[in-house]
Amino acid sequence: MNRSLLPAQLSNERGVALVMVFVFLLLLSLTTFSGAFSIVTHTQVVRNIENERRAFYVAEAGIAEAKIRLNMSSPTMVTVDGKTFDAAIVPEAREDWAGYLQFSGTGPAKSASTLKTPTIQRAANRLAYSTEGQDEDTLMLRWALDDKGKILKINGQSVLDVTAVGRSGSAKRSVHLQMAEVLARPSIHVNSTTACPGLKTNGNPSIRTGATIQVNSTCSGAIQLGGSSDITAATGQVKVAGGIGGKGKISPVPATGSPVMPDPLGSLKPPCFAGYAPAGCIDLGLKTKSNSTYKVSGKMTLEPGVYYGGIDVKGGTASLNPGVYVMAGGGFSVSANGSSVVVNDPKRGVMIYNTRDPAGGKMGAVSFNTGSGNVNLRAEPDGPYRGIVIFQDRDATPQPAVTVQGGFSGVLDGTIYAINAALDMQGGSSLQTEMVVGTLTMGGNATILPPPHPSTAGSTFASIAWLDV
C-alpha cells in the first residue's frame, strides 16, 4: 500500500501503540515503586534494628573494659595507638572521685578527684562508649553515694557505679553496672575472737607474707610471740583486735585494737555430693571414686570426685587431675618420706574439700607429715573455688586441726580455708601458702612464706547488679 494514499485518520492509529506503552509503563512503574518503597522501608527497619543491637553491644563492651581495668594491678602499662599508659583503674576512696575513659588522650583533669584515661580499644575498633550529658566518647565510673552523701556500702563493700552508653547511627543504648569493691583479704587471717592467743609461736618460727596479717582474737595476748620468732608482713599490716604478748620480732608495728574482720570467704559455698547438700552448695556432678580410704603407695593418677574414707598418700606419688576432691570422712593425709602430691595439669588446679562422711563416719584431718618428697598443689585459677586449695567444712564438729609436721616442705599455692579449725605447724616444716583459719600455732623452725600466686594482691571489683536501661 502506498502510504501517501492513506487518509490522515488511519495514520493517527499509531497513537494506540503509544497509549498502550504508556499504560504498560504506568503499571510497571506503580509495581516498581511499590516494591521499591517496600524495600526501602524494610531496609530502614533492618538498619534500625542493627543499630540498636550494635549500640547495646558497644555499651556492653565499655562495661567489659571497665571490669577488666578495675581488676588490673597498678601499674599495668599498655600501648594503644602510640600512647603508653597505666591501664589499671584504681578508684580513690573519696566521694567525689570519678573516672572517665576517653578516646583522645588523658586531657586535663576536671578536678583533683577526676581520672581521665584513654581507652584500651584501638581507635580503629570504633567502639565508642560514651556517657550522656558528660564528655563525648567517654565511659563513666563513680562511687554510689548513700543518702548522707557518703560512699554507699553494701554488705560492707563500697559500691561503684559504671555507666556506658553505646551509640550506633541514630540508636543509643545505656547499660549500668554496680560493682562492689572486694578489699584484699589478708595473707593470714586468724578468725577466732575468743581463742587466746589466736596466733602463738614457740621456738624460732617465722612468717613472711606479702599482704596483711589479721588476728581477730580480742584478748591482751592475741598474738603470743615466743623465743626468736619473726613475723613480717612485707607490704601489708599486722592487725590484731586484741594485744601482743611475748618477745619475738614483728614487723611492721602491729595495729592493736583493730576491728574484727569478718570471714573473708564467708560467701564460699561447699560442693554438693550424694547425701550431702548444705544450703547453697555447688553441684559439680561429683561422682564417687572410692568407698574406703584411698591409699596411694605407688605412682597413681587420681580423678576428682568423692573419696569416702579420704586419701592417704604414704610413700607414693599421687598425681591429681584438676578438679574438686571431696574427703568424706578420713581426711587427706600425706605421710612417710618420699611422698609426692602434684597437680597433673600445668594450667589448672585442685581444691580439696574436707568434711565428714554423711553416712555417719568420723571426719578425718588434713595433715602433712613427711620429711622429704614433693607436695605441690595449686588452686584452680577460675571457677567457684578460684584460689582455694583446701576447704574444710565450716559446720562440722569437732573440727580437726590442719597439721604440718616432720620437716615437711611444700607449696599449697592458694588459700587454706579452715575457718573453725586450728592450723598447727611444728618442727622444721615449711609451707608456701595463704590461710584463713581459726587459730594458728607454730613451733620449732616452722616457716610460712607467700605462695607463688598470691590471691591477696589488692582490691578487686565484682559485679553485683546489672541494669539494662
Partner 1 sequence: MYSQTSSRTSFAEAGYAILEVTFAALVAMVLLAGFGTFYLAQQHRLQEQQARLEMLQNARAAIDTMIRELRSAGRNPHAVDRLAGITVADARQVQFTLDLDGDGTVGGSDELRGFRQQGAELQMQTRNGLAGWMPVVDGVSNLAFEYYPKTANLSDPTTMPLGRTPTADELASIKTIRIRLTVQKSVGGRTISQTEVGTADLRNVLTEG
* Residue 125: strand, helix, or coil: helix
Q: Single out the residue of 11, 38, 79, 106 in contact with partner 1 (rule: CB under 8 A).
A: 38
- The one-letter amino acid code at 173 reads R
Q: Single out the residue of 11, 20, 93, 275 in contact with partner 1 (rule: CB under 8 A).
A: 20
Q: Single out the residue of 45, 93, 234, 274 in contact with partner 1 (rule: CB under 8 A).
A: 45
CA separation for the pair 38, 389 (Å, rounded): 63
The residues, any chain, with a CB within 8 Å of residue 3's CB and separated by 6 or more, are 11
Q: 234 or 277, CB closer to partner 1?
A: 277
Q: How far is the CB of 467 from partner 1 (least distance, A)?
A: 5
The residues, any chain, with a CB within 8 Å of residue 1's CB and separated by 6 or more, are none
Q: Single out the residue of 73, 74, 79, 155 in contact with partner 1 (rule: CB under 8 A).
A: 155
Residue 382 binds partner 1 (CB under 8 A): yes
Residue 13 binds partner 1 (CB under 8 A): yes
Of 306-335, binders to partner 1 (CB under 8 A) are: none
Strand-pair partners of 174: 165
Residue 106 binds partner 1 (CB under 8 A): no
| Structural contact between residues 299 and 317, judged by C-beta atoms closer than 8 angstroms | yes
| Structural contact between residues 238 and 231, judged by C-beta atoms closer than 8 angstroms | yes
Q: 267 or 397, CB closer to partner 1?
A: 267
Of 166-195, binders to partner 1 (CB under 8 A) are: 178
Segment near partner 1 (CB under 8 A), from 44-52, 213-221, 317-325, 399-407?
44-52
Nearest to 434 by CA among 386, 393, 372, 396: 386
Q: How far is the CB of 267 from partner 1 (least distance, A)?
A: 6
Q: Single out the residue of 11, 22, 30, 106 in contact with partner 1 (rule: CB under 8 A).
A: 30
Of 210-269, binders to partner 1 (CB under 8 A) are: 267
Give the number of residues in contact with partner 1, rule: CB under 8 A: 39
Instruction: Give just the sign of the alpha carbon dihedral 357, 361, 366, 370.
Output: negative
Residue 8 binds partner 1 (CB under 8 A): no
Residue 278 binds partner 1 (CB under 8 A): no
Nearest to 435 by CA among 213, 195, 262: 213
- The DSSP string of 308-377 is ET-EEEESSEEEEPSEEEEEESS-EEEESTTEEEEES-SS--EEEEEE--TTSPPPPPEEEE-SSEEEEE
Q: How far is the CB of 56 from partner 1 (least distance, A)?
A: 9
Q: How far is the CB of 27 from partner 1 (least distance, A)?
A: 5
CA separation for the pair 207, 445 (Å, rounded): 10
The residues, any chain, with a CB within 8 Å of residue 250's CB and separated by 6 or more, are 223, 225, 230, 231, 232, 238, 244
Q: Single out the residue of 47, 208, 289, 386 in contact with partner 1 (rule: CB under 8 A).
A: 386
Instruction: Extract the C-alpha cell encoding 422.
Output: 586450728
| Structural contact between residues 189 and 264, judged by C-beta atoms closer than 8 angstroms | yes
* Residue 38: strand, helix, or coil: helix
Segment near partner 1 (CB under 8 A), from 7-15, 82-90, 346-354, 398-406?
7-15
CA separation for the pair 86, 177 (Å, rounded): 23
Segment near partner 1 (CB under 8 A), from 32-40, 118-126, 254-262, 297-305?
32-40
Residue 337 binds partner 1 (CB under 8 A): no
Q: How far is the CB of 387 from partner 1 (least distance, A)?
A: 8
Q: How far is the CB of 271 from partner 1 (least distance, A)?
A: 13
Q: How far is the CB of 59 from partner 1 (least distance, A)?
A: 12
Over the window 115 to 154, marking each residue x when it contacts partner 1 by CB under 8 A and - when it does not, the resulting string is -------------------------------------x-x
Q: 122 or 269, CB closer to partner 1?
A: 269
The residues, any chain, with a CB within 8 Å of residue 30's CB and separated by 6 or more, are none
CA separation for the pair 91, 140 (Å, rounded): 12
| Contacting residues toward partner 1, per CB under 8 A | 5-7, 9-10, 13, 16, 20, 23-24, 27, 30-31, 34-35, 38, 41-42, 45, 49, 52, 152, 154-155, 159, 178, 267, 280, 382, 384, 386, 460, 462-468
